[in-house]
């Protein structure tokens, strides 16, 4: 069978080799491939694997043989799910491979901001030493307040690390989750986002991107934060109004930010809406790689291969995600978790 995998820059050597060893034709396409070129490749494809490349209605309608779409990752915003459902093409993601991994990445950003590591690193590189003065003073995580937006599996890992690991007070905003359930995971429930923002020394985002969370953190929310607080985002860039974030950093509404995700990726040093974020001592930028560890990639490849085998064998594909968009599927799927 013909399998098309986009975003070949993300190496999947084990999965790629296994699919070829099974006798399938595997076509690897680059990130940023034009829609017309993707349409041409999927016209006779049996399976489509993607990570970042948009899979639009036009792409789906051009692929009459397609048995399924596998997102080798978590977020499914780039896939036209209604179109796939309409054409009875199962869509599956890999939601569990990097839960602890991404939480660790968020925590690394948080502690680096707390300890002023970017600023200290720069002065050490340029001057060789730094004496204790107010410009370099850090903050303790112990007894600080860490606010978590979205208490799913990644958010829960973050809560455990901050609370049990570093003795921080943990508060969380997750509409619909009872306070009793939050308490089990070491977090106090905030009834409103405003309440969380006003209290927190560190705000870390672990929510999915949908219509209700797009620009959830805008100008009003940034102004509600403490001027000494830092904002961390490892979820989806568009959850933050990034224009408002630049203004908040310029005008000192917040003390800093650690960002692994952006609404327009990749970033660029020039001619990008977020180019102004580069070169700031109070901002850490990482290239959407908090998921990228040896252990997480091994899990991702193994589970991606399992989902591919199910689809290629004509079996129902296993959906582990609780995302209602995936749970709305009725053709060629089975649900677990």
Positions annotated as catalytic residues are 236, 265, 288
Strands across the sheet with 25-28, in order? 25-28, 2-5, 47-50, 69-71, 91-93
Of 245, 219, 243, 216, nearest to 231 by C-alpha is 245
Query: Is the Cβ–Cβ distance between 26 and 312 less than 8 Å?
Result: no
- DSSP three-state, residue 292: coil
- DSSP three-state, residue 110: helix
Q: Residue 37, class by beta-carbon neighbours within 10 Å (0-12 exposed, 13-18 middle, 19+ buried)?
A: exposed
Taking the C-alpha atoms of residue 254 and residue 245, their distance in angstroms, rounded to an integer, is 9
CB neighbour list of residue 116: distance below 8 Å, 6 or more residues apart: 136, 137, 138, 281
Q: Measure the CA dihedral 217/219/225/226, to 10°.
A: 150
Query: Is the Cβ–Cβ distance between 236 and 261 less than 8 Å?
Result: yes
Pairing of strands 202-205, 333-335: unpaired
Residues paired with residue 26 on neighbouring β-strands, in sequence order: 3
Taking the C-alpha atoms of residue 75 and residue 285, their distance in angstroms, rounded to an integer, is 20
Taking the C-alpha atoms of residue 255 and residue 249, their distance in angstroms, rounded to an integer, is 7
């Amino acid at each position: 069978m013909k399998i098309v995998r986009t975003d070949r820059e993300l190496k999947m050597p084990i999965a790629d080799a296994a699919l070829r060893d099974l006798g399938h034709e595997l076509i690897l396409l680059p990130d940023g491939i034009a829609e017309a070129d993707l349409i041409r490749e999927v016209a006779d494809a049996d399976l489509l694997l993607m990570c970042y490349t948009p899979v639009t209605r036009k792409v789906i309608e051009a692929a009459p043989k397609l048995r399924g779409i596998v997102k080798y990752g978590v977020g499914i915003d780039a896939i036209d799910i209604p179109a796939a459902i309409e054409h009875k093409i199962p869509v599956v993601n890999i939601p569990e491979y990097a839960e602890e991994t991404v939480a660790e990445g968020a925590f690394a950003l948080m502690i680096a901001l707390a300890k002023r590591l970017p600023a200290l690193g720069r002065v050490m590189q340029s001057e060789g030493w730094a004496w204790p003065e107010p410009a370099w003073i850090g903050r303790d995580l112990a007894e600080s307040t860490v606010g978590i937006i979205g208490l799913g599996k990644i958010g829960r890992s973050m809560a455990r690390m901050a609370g049990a690991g570093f003795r921080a007070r943990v508060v969380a905003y997750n509409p619909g989750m009872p306070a009793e359930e939050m308490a089990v995971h070491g977090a106090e429930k905030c009834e409103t986002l405003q309440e969380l923002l006003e209290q927190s020394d560190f705000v870390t985002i672990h929510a999915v991107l949908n219509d209700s969370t797009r620009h959830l953190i805008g100008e009003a929310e940034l102004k509600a934060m403490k001027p000494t607080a830092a904002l961390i985002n490892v979820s989806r860039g568009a959850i933050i109004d990034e224009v408002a974030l630049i203004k908040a950093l310029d005008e000192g509404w917040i003390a800093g930010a650690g960002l692994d995700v952006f609404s327009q990726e990749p970033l660029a040093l020039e001619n990008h809406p977020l180019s102004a974020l580069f070169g700031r001592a109070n901002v850490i930028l990482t290239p959407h790689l908090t998921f990228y560890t040896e252990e997480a990639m091994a899990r991702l490849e193994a589970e991606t291969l399992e989902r591919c085998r199910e689809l290629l064998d004509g079996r129902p594909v296993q959906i582990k995600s609780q995302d209602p968009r995936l749970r709305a599927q009725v053709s060629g799927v089975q649900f677990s978790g």
